[in-house]
Structure 1
Amino acid sequence: MLSIVGLAAACGKGNDNSSATASSSSTNDSAAASDSGAAASSDSAATTSPAAYTPSVAAHLVPVAMSTDQMAKAKSLAEAKGCFACHQVDAKVVGPAFAWVAYKYKGNPKAEGKLADAIEHGISGVWGGMPMPAQSVTPAQAKELASWVLAQKPIAPPKAS
């Protein structure tokens, strides 16, 4: 993940300093960070490092991968809430496979909210006639579960025959 941040920072930093000299790059980075509304760090190294890069609004449309610890915690929550009674990661049970859901909503910036709402309040008609009833989860748990589902490796569901 750090390498992705570093790469993104390097790309953005190259654009910010294309007309600047090497001696003023530190000043330009600080100005770019403050102009974009980013919170300035009291650590001077933070303003000159690749971590000071502020991504564009479009970067927020791409879901952020969950860490291994977050994935394990969310999977434990899914097990505790009984999600695996009707779903599996890569196979249909009563409801669709989580990987199919990840595929369906891949690249959709509103997916996490839609799925969290469906988990918390229930939904029907999206994956056929079987409705998913409202689950006994808090809004934060629903969001965590939705993030976990979207973090699965997307697999296209089989074509209906």
Structure 2
Amino acid sequence: MTPTSPASLHIVCPHCDAVNRLPPARLREQPTCGKCGKDLFTGAPVDLSSARFLKHIERTDIPVLVDFWAPWCGPCRTMMPFYAQAAQTLEPAFRVVKVNTEASQDIATRLAIRSIPTLALFQNGMEVARQPGAVDANTIVSWARSKAQRLA
């Protein structure tokens, strides 16, 4: 552990939404939730509703990458497999989630999501970057990594 790295990270469970404390060195050791016992990282985007969204972006200490999408959106459906592929590459350094803007219109309105698909990157509960439009997996990974700020 370097002098500037945190002693532990808070990671919200993608299954039960419990907040877990985890030493940074354990991120790559397939950690499990202390409450439900399931994997904290699944290598797939976590589908979040409005009720779960805020907890995940506010309580997770690693960057949270969000895909705002809708089922009727052709470009969104085209990008889905690329986003899933990017999740396999980005986890566990990132939490990768998706929000259906039709089912969670309040979040889309609150964040002024004007087009879909839109990628947004959150750190420490704050949006730090946004990218509209469908892109491939390599672009998603490169964009997320370039926009993520190092944990202080």
- Give the alignment's TM-score, normalised by structure 1: 0.22
Higher strand share: 2
Higher relative contact order (CA 8 A, sep 6+): 2
Q: Structure 2 length as normaliser, TM-score?
A: 0.23
Going by fraction, where is helix more abundant, 1 or 2?
1
Q: State which structure, 1 or 2, has the greater radius of gyration over its C-alpha atoms.
A: 1
